[in-house]
Protein backbone atom coordinates (compact mmCIF):
# COMPACT_ATOMS: atom_id res chain seq x y z
CA UNK A 1 0.00 0.00 0.00
CA UNK A 2 1.04 3.58 -0.64
CA UNK A 3 2.08 5.50 2.45
CA UNK A 4 0.34 8.80 3.00
CA UNK A 5 2.56 11.85 3.02
CA UNK A 6 0.75 14.11 5.43
CA UNK A 7 3.16 16.98 4.84
CA UNK A 8 1.08 20.17 4.96
CA UNK A 9 3.50 21.85 2.55
CA UNK A 10 2.56 19.63 -0.39
CA UNK A 11 -0.79 20.30 -2.06
CA UNK A 12 -3.05 17.44 -3.04
CA UNK A 13 -2.86 17.05 -6.82
CA UNK A 14 -6.62 16.38 -6.97
CA UNK A 15 -7.18 19.99 -5.87
CA UNK A 16 -5.96 21.08 -9.32
CA UNK A 17 -8.22 21.18 -12.34
CA UNK A 18 -6.92 20.25 -15.79
CA UNK A 19 -5.91 23.81 -16.69
CA UNK A 20 -3.96 24.17 -13.45
CA UNK A 21 -2.10 20.94 -14.21
CA UNK A 22 -1.35 22.38 -17.66
CA UNK A 23 0.10 25.44 -15.92
CA UNK A 24 2.31 23.32 -13.68
CA UNK A 25 3.54 21.33 -16.68
CA UNK A 26 4.37 24.56 -18.50
CA UNK A 27 6.17 25.90 -15.42
CA UNK A 28 8.21 22.68 -15.29
CA UNK A 29 9.06 23.18 -18.99
CA UNK A 30 7.47 19.90 -20.04
CA UNK A 31 5.59 19.30 -23.31
CA UNK A 32 1.88 20.19 -23.04
CA UNK A 33 0.72 16.60 -23.71
CA UNK A 34 2.16 15.61 -20.31
CA UNK A 35 -0.80 17.31 -18.60
CA UNK A 36 -3.20 14.92 -20.39
CA UNK A 37 -1.03 11.95 -19.40
CA UNK A 38 -1.14 12.99 -15.75
CA UNK A 39 -4.88 13.69 -15.90
CA UNK A 40 -5.62 10.29 -17.41
CA UNK A 41 -3.33 8.57 -14.94
CA UNK A 42 -5.27 10.15 -12.07
CA UNK A 43 -8.84 9.95 -13.37
CA UNK A 44 -8.86 7.12 -15.90
CA UNK A 45 -6.28 4.69 -14.54
CA UNK A 46 -6.72 5.69 -10.87
CA UNK A 47 -2.96 5.57 -10.29
CA UNK A 48 -2.04 6.38 -6.70
CA UNK A 49 1.74 6.56 -6.89
CA UNK A 50 3.93 8.61 -9.29
CA UNK A 51 5.90 5.43 -10.08
CA UNK A 52 2.76 4.03 -11.76
CA UNK A 53 2.97 6.80 -14.37
CA UNK A 54 5.32 4.73 -16.53
CA UNK A 55 4.37 6.89 -19.53
CA UNK A 56 6.15 9.84 -17.88
CA UNK A 57 9.91 10.33 -17.73
CA UNK A 58 11.51 9.52 -14.38
CA UNK A 59 12.39 13.19 -13.87
CA UNK A 60 8.72 14.20 -14.15
CA UNK A 61 7.64 11.43 -11.77
CA UNK A 62 10.16 12.82 -9.28
CA UNK A 63 8.71 16.32 -9.73
CA UNK A 64 5.25 14.94 -8.95
CA UNK A 65 6.57 13.15 -5.86
CA UNK A 66 8.44 16.21 -4.62
CA UNK A 67 5.65 18.71 -5.23
CA UNK A 68 2.30 16.94 -4.72
CA UNK A 69 0.49 14.46 -2.59
CA UNK A 70 -1.50 12.03 -4.72
CA UNK A 71 -3.00 10.09 -1.84
CA UNK A 72 -4.70 11.68 1.15
CA UNK A 73 -6.65 8.61 2.24
CA UNK A 74 -5.16 5.37 3.51
CA UNK A 75 -7.01 2.25 2.31
CA UNK A 76 -7.58 -0.04 5.29
CA UNK A 77 -9.68 -2.74 3.63
CA UNK A 78 -10.65 -3.37 -0.01
CA UNK A 79 -13.36 -5.80 -1.16
CA UNK A 80 -14.12 -6.66 -4.80
CA UNK A 81 -17.32 -8.12 -6.21
CA UNK A 82 -17.07 -11.43 -8.05
CA UNK A 83 -17.84 -9.73 -11.39
CA UNK A 84 -15.17 -7.07 -10.83
CA UNK A 85 -17.64 -4.23 -11.40
CA UNK A 86 -17.86 -3.07 -7.78
CA UNK A 87 -15.11 -2.20 -5.31
CA UNK A 88 -15.77 -1.32 -1.68
CA UNK A 89 -12.95 0.42 0.21
CA UNK A 90 -12.64 1.50 3.83
CA UNK A 91 -10.30 4.50 4.08
CA UNK A 92 -8.60 6.04 7.06
CA UNK A 93 -8.65 9.83 6.98
CA UNK A 94 -5.64 11.92 8.04
CA UNK A 95 -7.42 12.65 11.36
CA UNK A 96 -7.73 8.91 12.08
CA UNK A 97 -11.45 8.64 11.36
CA UNK A 98 -12.80 6.38 8.61
CA UNK A 99 -14.89 6.75 5.47
CA UNK A 100 -16.23 4.04 3.20
CA UNK A 101 -16.50 4.36 -0.57
CA UNK A 102 -18.10 2.03 -3.08
CA UNK A 103 -17.14 2.33 -6.76
CA UNK A 104 -19.73 0.88 -9.13
CA UNK A 105 -18.67 0.86 -12.77
CA UNK A 106 -21.45 1.34 -15.30
CA UNK A 107 -20.91 1.42 -19.04
CA UNK A 108 -17.68 2.83 -20.39
CA UNK A 109 -18.50 6.44 -19.61
CA UNK A 110 -19.76 6.60 -16.06
CA UNK A 111 -19.06 5.33 -12.58
CA UNK A 112 -21.03 5.82 -9.39
CA UNK A 113 -19.21 6.35 -6.12
CA UNK A 114 -21.11 6.04 -2.87
CA UNK A 115 -19.60 7.53 0.30
CA UNK A 116 -20.53 6.74 3.87
CA UNK A 117 -19.13 7.93 7.17
CA UNK A 118 -20.37 8.49 10.67
CA UNK A 119 -19.50 12.17 10.08
CA UNK A 120 -21.13 12.50 6.66
CA UNK A 121 -24.63 12.15 5.34
CA UNK A 122 -25.15 9.47 2.74
CA UNK A 123 -24.41 10.66 -0.73
CA UNK A 124 -24.09 9.71 -4.34
CA UNK A 125 -21.41 11.10 -6.57
CA UNK A 126 -21.78 10.37 -10.27
CA UNK A 127 -18.56 10.71 -12.24
CA UNK A 128 -18.76 11.03 -16.01
CA UNK A 129 -15.63 10.88 -18.10
CA UNK A 130 -15.71 13.58 -20.75
CA UNK A 131 -13.08 14.64 -23.27
CA UNK A 132 -12.43 17.79 -21.21
CA UNK A 133 -12.28 16.02 -17.85
CA UNK A 134 -14.62 14.66 -15.20
CA UNK A 135 -18.02 15.99 -14.26
CA UNK A 136 -19.45 15.28 -10.84
CA UNK A 137 -22.81 15.62 -9.22
CA UNK A 138 -23.38 15.14 -5.52
CA UNK A 139 -26.68 14.28 -3.95
CA UNK A 140 -26.61 14.52 -0.15
CA UNK A 141 -29.26 12.56 1.68
pLDDT at residue 106, as a whole number: 65
- Please provide the size of the chain in residues: 141
pLDDT band for position 7 (50/70/90)? very low
pLDDT band for position 110 (50/70/90)? low
* pLDDT at residue 84 tops 50: yes
If one counts every other C-beta atom within 10 angstroms of the C-beta of residue 69, the result is 19
**pTM score:** 0.56
Residue 74: CA atoms inside 13 Å, Cβ hemisphere, count?
12
Q: What is the pLDDT of residues 32-79, one digit of tens each?
A: 999 999 999 999 998 989 999 999 999 999 999 999 988 777 889 999
Maximum distance among all Cα pairs of the chain, rounded to whole angstroms: 45
* pLDDT at residue 102 tops 70: yes
* pLDDT at residue 101 tops 90: no
State which CATH number among 3.10.580.10, 1.10.150.530, 3.40.50.410, 3.90.190.20 fits the domain covering 13-67.
1.10.150.530
| C-alpha span between 120 and 19 (Å, rounded) | 30
Amino acid sequence: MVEIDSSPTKPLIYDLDFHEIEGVIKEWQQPPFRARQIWEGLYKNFWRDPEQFSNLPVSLRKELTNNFRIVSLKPVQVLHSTDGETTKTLFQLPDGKAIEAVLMKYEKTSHVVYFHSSRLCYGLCLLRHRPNGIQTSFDQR
